[in-house]
A and B are shown apart, each in its own frame.
Chain A
């Protein structure tokens, strides 16, 4: 996790960890070590990965007719790669 200088000091934050912004603005994707890389040739768009992603970080985009990884929230667990029936996803550093 990177420490940003923009983060607030102990004098500026609310007590008890009260969040001043919604959870969608806390980008937990920086926890990951490995990220998913998809082989489009192998992918059948069966959406198994979308169903299994525990963070809801793989989205089905109907306008594109394709899936999209949201790396801002993907924690790199690799469940998608493990569940993919055609082995189209590989976890890379």
Chain B
């Protein structure tokens, strides 16, 4: 893009890109606990603190449960707050994930996606964040280290938007992205600081009858997250859902504003369509595998096959209308899942893409492909075979096997 500002290219892996984005985003408090493959984020950020490169209060906690609790509390006082985790660490945060979203605390958390035990496995899949998809956090999944950097910066603006006020998870595939060195274009500190801006606050009525900024302040005491039983709990949950609905629009606006600054776009910020306009067969996926799928799409297109790809960047809130619009004219869709929903008859992405397609007039054939569990690699040959299955489905005019496992020994 012509108007893009001058940027510097740094060699960063995904974790370092996340830490660098957090460093530039004028974060007040970071409370975190290291866990593979997120460790580099915490190590790198603690280096910035030790070197005096940031003015952030860095809290070393004894567990992830405590790390997120500290972040929630800091965020409630009005601080811009960041943390990071993965796998078992995120699972240990489970209880506080709901408290954070329920308290409308705009905490940003990067997750280096990793498998859950048992058996113990440190490698990348989406089991950890998919388990937390109903926790009230916005979820953005990235394709590469560049997008990890860009998305963390955008995440603060999304989370802190007064129409949203919800915490955000930025998910990047463990090792595939977290530990792989890439050329990452970074903005200057000043531009990022200006882009993220200063956190704004809603005005709320306290028990003393005063209208004050929505943050914990000894001068203006208020109660957050008290008991709310049959008479009010439901109303608070409905209010959170409104924040999620608003987020769909805000994520796009922030993405577009950032794109004007940097020249970088990720579809429209919520879904990223690749060669889909006239596609007959398509894959829908999240995360880094989209990069590999794009090369296969290019190869197939060169052979005259009308193949396309839809990468779902924002998984929460789920962009149902955009998914339906993007895939509505496709004849067969393969939905990729890098996690299992045991006994759920397919993975979570499959469930939700099918859900989005139900209201379309043309119902494409949908197939589910579970892949990459525990970090197992997926090759272009295997992806090509998935497109082959879609072609066979069109010829047979029926779905032979709805649920498939890629690269599994039978």
Q: Is the CB of A17 within 8 A of B226?
A: yes
Q: Mark A12-32, 1 if CB is under 8 A from B, else 0.
A: 011111111111000000000
Chain A residues positioned under 8 Å from B242 (CB to CB): 10
**Complex alpha-carbon distance, A21 and B238, angstroms:** 21
**Complex alpha-carbon distance, A27 and B202, angstroms:** 28
Segment of A1-9, A36-44, A68-76 engaged in the interface with chain B: A1-9
Chain B residues positioned under 8 Å from A18 (CB to CB): 204-206, 214, 222-224
**Complex alpha-carbon distance, A8 and B206, angstroms:** 15
Give me 11 A-to-B residue pairs in the complex whose CB atoms sit less than 8 angstroms apart, sorted by A's number: A11-B239, A13-B232, A13-B235, A14-B204, A15-B165, A16-B224, A17-B225, A18-B223, A19-B206, A22-B207, A23-B207
Q: How many A-B residue pairs have CB under 8 A?
A: 70
Chain A residues positioned under 8 Å from B408 (CB to CB): none
The chain A residue sitting closest to B165, CB to CB, is A15
Known A18-B214, A19-B223, A20-B206; judge A13-B229 contact (CB<8 A): no
Known A3-B230, A3-B231, A7-B232; judge A15-B206 contact (CB<8 A): no
Interface of B toward A, CB cutoff 8 Å:
102-105, 165, 202, 204-209, 214, 222-226, 228-232, 234-236, 238-239, 242
**Complex alpha-carbon distance, A58 and B188, angstroms:** 64
Q: Is the CB of B104 within 8 A of A15?
A: yes
B107 to chain A, nearest CB (A): 13
**Complex alpha-carbon distance, A17 and B165, angstroms:** 14
Judged by DSSP, the binding face of A is loop
The chain A residue sitting closest to B233, CB to CB, is A17
Chain A residues positioned under 8 Å from B228 (CB to CB): 17
Q: Identify 12 new A-B residue pairs, CB closer than 8 A, beyond the known A10-B239, A18-B205.
A: A1-B229, A9-B235, A10-B238, A10-B242, A13-B239, A15-B202, A16-B103, A16-B224, A17-B102, A17-B236, A18-B223, A20-B207
A85 to chain B, nearest CB (A): 33
**Complex alpha-carbon distance, A19 and B226, angstroms:** 8
Chain A residues positioned under 8 Å from B232 (CB to CB): 7, 13, 17
**Complex alpha-carbon distance, A16 and B223, angstroms:** 9
Which one of A1, A11, A15, A21 contacts B231 once the chains associate, using CB atoms below 8 Å?
A1
**Complex alpha-carbon distance, A18 and B235, angstroms:** 13
Q: Is the CB of A13 within 8 A of B231?
A: no
B295 to chain A, nearest CB (A): 45
